[in-house]
A and B are shown apart, each in its own frame.
Chain A
Amino acid sequence: MIARVRALITHEDYKEMLTLHALTALSSDDQRALREHLATCDECGAELDRWRATAAALAYTATPVEPSAEVRGNILESARAETGYSLSVPLELDVRGKTITMHLLSGEQIETLASGGNAAHLALFTLTCGIGATLAVAIYAGGVDGHIKSTFWAVFWAMTVLAVYFAVMATRDAVKNARLERAIRNETGTVKMVAPIALPAAETDRKGKPATSAGS
């Protein structure tokens, strides 16, 4: 019912639904509507976290039971089998001086993102080379004289300096990518990578936090 009149639901209504959501007692329509709201409302998100904590405490009313002994071994074995190039690699990224650990789903994803930085530097290198070459041709072949000629020279040298800078950056990126890829393929674990690129966290919903993606 609520889904049909979604447009009329206010923030306060959603807030009231949070308790029921923490108890998984909402219908799937209501749940869907609430999730859409949660994606945009931090206040409700924080409130839901508090209700989840209360709901978690209710778990203590169940009598603890010992599972079969092999469950522990099965979990650890499966975990070990999953660790590898194809599934997930934790990365420590230095973003504006702050180290954050991110989890990526696949090596391909990392390669795509890392080569993005490289491609940008290569593009800038090509651009500066192009401008510089055009200016050089204009100076030697065309009839530029006086002030304009000295300005052209100044810009030409600026482009040359920038081109060298971008070439160095592109080379550095390529080396870094190669090292990253090698580390991933060899499964050497944590890779330290310094890159000002925003990496998407894998398989997440509200702000990439796991609590809400528990199927809630």
Chain B
Amino acid sequence: MVILTGIPRDLDSTTLQPEQAQVSDVHLLHSIARRDEQALASLYDRYHRILFGLLVRILSSREEAEDILQEVFLQVWRRAADFDEHRGRPFAWLVSLARHRAIDRLRLHSSLARASVRETGDDVSDTAQATLEQREIVADALAQLTDEQKQVLILAYFEGLTQAEIAARLGVPLPRVRTHMRSGMIRVRELLSGKVESLLETKG
């Protein structure tokens, strides 16, 4: 993300050399809004692995994750013109779309037993080195949280549980769950803001 989206937007794309890093995500979304299929393909190539990894982790099913991944990019195709770059990075928008859809699906099926076997990816090779670096930074930040903070964040983020469900699952009072979630998020934000500006910026 730092490399892909950290390009000042006033730079003309022709002044930058590498093929992949040339066009900013925001620029891609503008092109998608103008019905540029190639731009949609480029955005997919950039983020499909990280988004699919997230969806598989949430849904525990490759099949369902593929469904949602398609829905997400089709929604991007339909709604790119509505994207407002002043309200956040395109990546944050993509993650938000993906998570909401996945969690809606999860809650829809919540009466069904969730798959106990969690599939994970085995190859972590070809995505840009930038992603690997981001992963390490975020993983480091998470590692610095207390166990309680980490636990509630993960239950909400990857299992789609509400605060009340988390309280019930862990057998702790609701206000405590809320406190851990808030303090955990504040801590993550503090830890990331010094290191990955472009990840957290909402402007530009």
Interface residues of A (CB under 8 A from B): 16, 19-20, 22-27, 45-46, 49-68, 71-72, 74-76, 78-80, 82-83, 87-88, 90, 101-103, 189-190, 201-204, 208-211, 213-216
User: In residues 109-144 of chain B, which contact A (Cβ within 8 Å)?
Assistant: 119-121, 123-124, 127, 131, 134-135, 137-139, 142
Check if A210 sits within 8 Å of B62, measured CB to CB: no
Interface residues of B (CB under 8 A from A): 30, 33-35, 37, 40-41, 44-45, 48-54, 56-57, 62, 65-66, 69-70, 73-74, 77-84, 87-89, 91-101, 103-104, 119-121, 123-124, 127, 131, 134-135, 137-139, 142, 153, 156-158, 160-164, 166, 178, 181-182, 185-186, 188-189, 192, 196, 199-202
Check if A103 sits within 8 Å of B82, measured CB to CB: yes
Check if B188 sits within 8 Å of A211, measured CB to CB: no
Q: A24-B99, A56-B96, A63-B120 are in contact. Are A72 and B48 (CB under 8 A)?
A: yes
Residues of A within 8 Å of B69, CB to CB, are 67, 71, 75
Check if A53 sits within 8 Å of B121, measured CB to CB: no
Q: A25-B161, A215-B101 are in contact. Are A67 and B65 (CB under 8 A)?
A: yes
Check if A60 sits within 8 Å of B138, measured CB to CB: yes
Residues of B within 8 Å of A83, CB to CB, are 35
Q: A54-B192, A56-B91, A210-B82 are in contact. Are A90 and B202 (CB under 8 A)?
A: no
CB distance from B159 to the nearest CB of A (A): 10
Check if B96 sits within 8 Å of A52, measured CB to CB: yes
Residues of B within 8 Å of A55, CB to CB, are 92, 95-96, 99, 157, 185
Q: Can you give 7 contacting A-B residue pairs, CB < 8 Å?
A: A26-B163, A27-B162, A53-B200, A65-B52, A66-B49, A71-B66, A82-B74
Docked pose: A101 CA to B51 CA in angstroms: 28
Q: A52-B96, A210-B93 are in contact. Are A64 and B124 (CB under 8 A)?
A: yes
Contact of A49 among B30, B88, B134, B157 (CB under 8 A): B88
Contact of B131 among A60, A82, A213 (CB under 8 A): A60
Residues of A within 8 Å of B120, CB to CB, are 63, 65
Check if B54 sits within 8 Å of A23, measured CB to CB: no
Contact of A53 among B41, B80, B88 (CB under 8 A): B88
SS class, residues of chain B in contact with chain A: helix
Contact of A75 among B44, B104, B185 (CB under 8 A): B44
Docked pose: A66 CA to B127 CA in angstroms: 10
By beta carbon, the residue of chain B nearest A209 is B84
From A50, A190, A210, name the one whose CB has the most chain B CB atoms within 10 angstroms: A210
Q: A19-B185, A101-B33 are in contact. Are A54 and B78 (CB under 8 A)?
A: no
Docked pose: A82 CA to B185 CA in angstroms: 39
Residues of B within 8 Å of A52, CB to CB, are 88, 92, 96
Docked pose: A90 CA to B79 CA in angstroms: 10
Docked pose: A26 CA to B167 CA in angstroms: 12
Residues of A within 8 Å of B142, CB to CB, are 58, 61
Q: A53-B201, A102-B81 are in contact. Are A22 and B93 (CB under 8 A)?
A: no
Check if A62 sits within 8 Å of B50, measured CB to CB: yes
Check if A24 sits within 8 Å of B82, measured CB to CB: no
CB distance from A154 to the nearest CB of B (A): 50
Contact of B52 among A56, A66, A74, A203 (CB under 8 A): A66
Residues of B within 8 Å of A82, CB to CB, are 74, 77-78
Docked pose: A58 CA to B52 CA in angstroms: 14
Docked pose: A62 CA to B139 CA in angstroms: 10
Contact of A67 among B40, B62, B100, B201 (CB under 8 A): B62
By beta carbon, the residue of chain A nearest B29 is A210
